[in-house]
Structure 1
Amino acid sequence: MSIEQDKQLQRFKERGYQADLLPKTKKQQTWGTFNYFSLWMGSVHNVPNYVAVGGFFFLGIAPQYILLAIFFSSIMIAGIMILNGKAGSRYGIPFAMSLRASYGEKGALLPGILRGCIAAIMWYGLQTYTGSLALLILIGKIWPAFLHIGGNFQFLGISLPGLIAFIIFWVLNLLIGLGGGSILTKFTALLNPLIYILFGGMTIWALSIGGGLRAILMYLPQQISNEHSSLIVFFMIVNANLAVWAAPGVSASDFTQHAKNFKSQALGQFTGLVLSYSLFAFSSVTILAGASIHYGVDTWNILDIVTKWDHLAATAFATLVLLLTTISTNATGNIIPAGYQLAATFPKKISYKQGVLIASVLSFLICPWKLMENQVSIYTFLEIIGGILGPVLGVMLAHYFVAMKQTLSLDKLYLAKGKTGYYKNGVNWFALAVTLVATLLSFIGKLIPSLAVLSGFSWMIGSFSAFILYCLAFLLFKSSSTLKEETK
């Protein structure tokens, strides 16, 4: 660390910022290409993603187009993660601080809470619940009587065995979250080989029992929706996949802050995401279609397949890997960002670990099992998350690349008490106004019945309209005092 950087960090500490929020030094930026390549591998193969693919079949589109839509969306996801993570890799700052550059130290509270608290905590609870279902299957196979504990007892809609499994898995997620990024990279390095053993084996199994690749590519569920054309359904699938990554895409800097350089995170994320999603697309379509053909029942949840197996060792291995992939996904996309955001919202009172603990408690209290009652509830959830966070991403990209020209002043982000940063009042009103307008546009399909088809494109509409509107606002009003101050 240079003498100047050491003085800068000391200055920021004296201003009351927790160590978790400080810019990472070159010594701390140790993640290379392989770290990012492996980081997202485990995040793709998780239960909600398989449930989403199961839902795609019911939209009435052929399996090969589902494969193509998932591959196309993976390229877009990789691009988003790389571009919105550039500030993190260049300056070593987490999402909570890069958000301040776009919205101001006070203005950042609203989008920060939307992503780091509401979206992250909702996803945190959902992923924990889906993982607990896998744990319940495993315990039930080993100890069948466990599934009958408590009889007809229900706790806000969940049985006693389900509640016990949820609490156990909730604690495991909490422990990984408290370990932070250093524990996560070691965890994913051990997990990735197991993922390919499991899903590679399940893919071969599904090809065998489903009558081969030709039969699988011709599979359609018994009940399908013909409400939309194939082209519209194709982009609805793309939007759904992007909505899954709406939250991590916004907070990409939480992970790129550890990068050795921009090239490392760009190459690692692109190859890791595109390759893992390509393999996921083929395995998910093959497994779900093959099992549906074999069992004669349309299957939209991979856990339903594992439950039908009679081989204890195979079931135990499959559920164990599903548990681990869910923890990996939860940590990268939800637990860590929630911890950082809560610490940034109350920088002098809450540390990262305290933020993780608070987020964990809230993820329990929202009763996440209500979010996964059926396919409709999941799609509604994705539409809402995509519509809320898409505009935030659009504003952040437009601000950093167009308005700021990829240059930030850390002294204006890590403010001393009573000092002025990029904005005299601490709020970029242009950013908030654009976010509000773009959010309304993203839900236009819900607001105007005649445009209902657009509700399936909430993330796309929100993010693209926010980017365009912010660029236009900057070009038209950059002479104003607010935007003059912003780009100094």
Structure 2
Amino acid sequence: MSDTTIDRSGGFQPSARLHNDDLAPAKERNWGTYSLFAMWMSDVHSIGGYTFAAGLFFTGLVGWQVFVALVLGITVVFFLMNLTGFAGQATGVPYPVIARISFGVFGANLAALIRAVIAIAWYGIQTWLASQAVVVLLVAAWPGVAEHRGADFLGLDMLGWAAFVVLWALQLLVIRRGMETVRRFQDWAGPAIWVVMFVLAVWIVVEAGSDFSLNLTDEQKSGSAAVHAFFVAIALTITYFSTLLLNFCDFSRFAPDRRTVVRGNFLGLPVNFIGFAVVTVAVTAGSIAVFGEAITDPVEIVARIDNIWVTVIGAITFVIATIGINVVANFVSASYDLANVAPKYIDFRRGGLISAVVAVLITPWHLYNSPAAIFYFLGGLGALLGPLFGVIFTDYFLLRRQRISIEELYLDDPRSRYYYKRGWNPKALIAGTIAAVFSLFLALYKPWEAWAPFSWFVGVILAAVLYYAISARDFRQPELEPTTRTEEVQP
């Protein structure tokens, strides 16, 4: 029995504007420790994850300092992710429904759509980057392919379009049957990528031989500069997971108990992430001896290995890795978030299809190749994630003390304690908006760019303090008396 108290005594009927089968509390709890562990493997083992981990070793810190920063950062992520996981496991509901507790039954759409826009944009970008990796490896394996790339259309040649569309379609297949298909895919995809990465690490270390060295950079910082770089490395590690800190409940809602959440998170985050970082560093360090320069892009490393089988296996691996992280970090979130906007018309699968179509329409290659778009648009939206986290989980854990009414989350009626004012909670909006202004300023104001990595923390702390201060008087008495969990919400 968890610490969460769930009241179901009102006998309310859920509103079609707020309820469908996908948004209702999970009926099946079949995501065990291994499934959550495999989910985290899929999230971490990506081209972006590889580049991120390798890049930290070029920040001017020595190797042991980077590893300490990684350990501290992922430990913080582990504990915060457990909070998100506990909320999802106890209630059985996805992120946008959790957001209704603090933002209101309709105000939650704001929190959900912010997350959805980020997810859709990165879904398109990740798909395009992986398709480009496939094109590079195809040309490396069969140079003659380059002669048939065809004319440009909307910024991509025909080979680029073919690779993009294939990857796009494969990801749609993964969610064709909902979260159960996602679980089955993750169960084998994450470990498969691990095997390939480990083999690559062994090969490159052997090839490097006695020339192998973990000293990746000649520029080493000291004094206050080293301290700043150390805390930046910790902050970047935490913010790397900031999207899933909001919507990990989309997955943990299917876990049978809290112990499963903790075990899956422990294996998938501290253990897996540090292990992956070690492999990444080994490959990057070995690349200096083998290729004469440090290569932080795994695609380039595979392309330089003159072996067609390595190239083919590498291409398949990058496709699987991209599908894995896109499904975990982007597809699932966007599907639930869009379903929350119009549950009567959009279910999980339709939400995923809409996300996929929009991801093509935005031509993500143009978005990615525009520094202004990445910095101001996606960087600005990313800065809003901290305030959302601060408000939602301050409300759930500190103010309500995990005492909630599941039925009333689906009630379009002033009788619901989550209806607030016409379905919106003004106090959550006030706290979130003020925190967002400061967070955005820190993230986007160029003269303060050295402190931009800490914008998420500023947003979380400021939103949490403000929301607690203006809302605490409403929770002087326990909102709900302890009750036991009963059957699921029925339409």
TM range (shorter): 0.7 to 0.9
User: Is structure 2 residue 236 aligned with structure 1 residue 234?
Assistant: no
User: Is structure 2 residue 202 aligned with structure 1 residue 200?
Assistant: no
User: Is structure 2 residue 457 aligned with structure 1 residue 460?
Assistant: yes
> Deviation of residue 315 (structure 1)?
1.7
Q: Structure 1 pair 383/230, CA: closer, same or farther in 2 (3 Å)? A: farther
Q: Is the 1:256–1:265 Cα contact (8 Å) retained in structure 2?
A: yes
Matching of residues 310-321 of structure 1 within 5 Å: 310-321=306-317
CA offset digits 1:314-372 (Å, max 9, x no partner): 12112212211211111111111111111111111211111111100111122222455
* Corresponding position of 2:121: 122
Distance 2:223 2:114 in 1: 32
> Deviation of residue 145 (structure 1)?
2.8
* Corresponding position of 2:321: 325
Q: Is the 2:134–2:315 Cα contact (8 Å) retained in structure 1?
A: yes
- SS at structure 2 position matched to 1:12: coil
> Deviation of residue 486 (structure 1)?
11
* Corresponding position of 2:89: 89
Distance 1:444 1:14 in 2: 39
Q: Is the 1:395–1:470 Cα contact (8 Å) retained in structure 2?
A: yes
Q: Structure 1 pair 60/377, CA: closer, same or farther in 2 (3 Å)? A: farther
Matching of residues 389-468 of structure 1 within 5 Å: 389-416=385-412, 420-422=416-418, 423-446=420-443, 450-468=447-465
Q: Structure 1 pair 159/109, CA: closer, same or farther in 2 (3 Å)? A: same
Q: Is the 2:443–2:455 Cα contact (8 Å) retained in structure 1?
A: no
Distance 2:17 2:135 in 1: 48
CA offset digits 1:89-120 (Å, max 9, x no partner): 112111111110011012212111001x2111
- The 10-residue stretch of structure 1 (427-436 or 364-373) with the greater mean CA deviation from structure 2: 364-373
Matching of residues 317-396 of structure 1 within 5 Å: 317-370=313-366, 372-373=368-369, 383-396=379-392
Q: Structure 1 pair 183/349, CA: closer, same or farther in 2 (3 Å)? A: same
Matching of residues 151-300 of structure 1 within 5 Å: 151=150, 153-211=151-209, 215-220=212-217, 229-300=225-296
Q: Structure 1 pair 69/409, CA: closer, same or farther in 2 (3 Å)? A: same
> Deviation of residue 249 (structure 1)?
1.2
> Deviation of residue 301 (structure 1)?
1.4
* Corresponding position of 1:148: 147
Distance 2:426 2:477 in 1: 13
Distance 2:220 2:52 in 1: 15
> Deviation of residue 259 (structure 1)?
0.9
Q: Structure 1 pair 329/428, CA: closer, same or farther in 2 (3 Å)? A: same
Q: Is the 2:376–2:444 Cα contact (8 Å) retained in structure 1?
A: no
Q: Structure 1 pair 200/447, CA: closer, same or farther in 2 (3 Å)? A: closer
* Corresponding position of 1:23: 25
Distance 1:380 1:296 in 2: 36
| Unaligned ranges ≥5, structure 1 | none
The share of aligned pairs that are identical, in percent, is 28
> Deviation of residue 193 (structure 1)?
3.4
> Deviation of residue 373 (structure 1)?
4.6
Q: Is the 1:445–1:453 Cα contact (8 Å) retained in structure 2?
A: no
Q: Structure 1 pair 486/322, CA: closer, same or farther in 2 (3 Å)? A: farther
Highest RCO, 1 vs 2 (Cα 8 Å, sep ≥ 6): 2
Q: Is the 1:441–1:462 Cα contact (8 Å) retained in structure 2?
A: yes
Distance 2:337 2:182 in 1: 18
* Corresponding position of 1:108: 108
Q: Is the 1:403–1:487 Cα contact (8 Å) retained in structure 2?
A: no
Q: Is the 1:46–1:329 Cα contact (8 Å) retained in structure 2?
A: yes
Q: Is the 2:15–2:412 Cα contact (8 Å) retained in structure 1?
A: no
Q: Is the 1:242–1:459 Cα contact (8 Å) retained in structure 2?
A: no
Q: Structure 1 pair 218/297, CA: closer, same or farther in 2 (3 Å)? A: closer
Greater helix share, structure number: 1
- The 10-residue stretch of structure 1 (348-357 or 455-464) with the greater mean CA deviation from structure 2: 455-464
- The 10-residue stretch of structure 1 (436-445 or 322-331) with the greater mean CA deviation from structure 2: 436-445
How many aligned residue pairs are there? Answer: 474
> Deviation of residue 71 (structure 1)?
2.4
Distance 1:206 1:43 in 2: 24
CA offset digits 1:293-329 (Å, max 9, x no partner): 4312342311111111111111211221221121111
Q: Structure 1 pair 485/93, CA: closer, same or farther in 2 (3 Å)? A: farther
* Corresponding position of 1:99: 99
> Deviation of residue 439 (structure 1)?
1.6
- SS at structure 2 position matched to 1:155: coil
Q: Is the 2:123–2:326 Cα contact (8 Å) retained in structure 1?
A: yes
Q: Structure 1 pair 54/193, CA: closer, same or farther in 2 (3 Å)? A: closer
Q: Is the 2:390–2:464 Cα contact (8 Å) retained in structure 1?
A: yes
Q: Is the 2:302–2:314 Cα contact (8 Å) retained in structure 1?
A: yes
> Deviation of residue 215 (structure 1)?
4.8
Q: Is the 2:96–2:111 Cα contact (8 Å) retained in structure 1?
A: no
Q: Is the 1:383–1:459 Cα contact (8 Å) retained in structure 2?
A: no
* Corresponding position of 1:72: 72
Matching of residues 52-63 of structure 1 within 5 Å: 52-63=52-63
- The 10-residue stretch of structure 1 (119-128 or 423-432) with the greater mean CA deviation from structure 2: 423-432
| Unaligned ranges ≥5, structure 2 | 1-5, 481-491
Q: Is the 1:48–1:130 Cα contact (8 Å) retained in structure 2?
A: no
Letter matched to residue 17 of structure 1: H
Letter matched to residue 330 of structure 2: N
TM-score by length of 1: 0.88
Q: Structure 1 pair 183/209, CA: closer, same or farther in 2 (3 Å)? A: same
- SS at structure 1 position matched to 2:401: coil
- The 10-residue stretch of structure 1 (198-207 or 228-237) with the greater mean CA deviation from structure 2: 228-237
Q: Structure 1 pair 381/14, CA: closer, same or farther in 2 (3 Å)? A: closer
Distance 1:439 1:29 in 2: 35
Distance 2:23 2:112 in 1: 14
- SS at structure 2 position matched to 1:408: strand
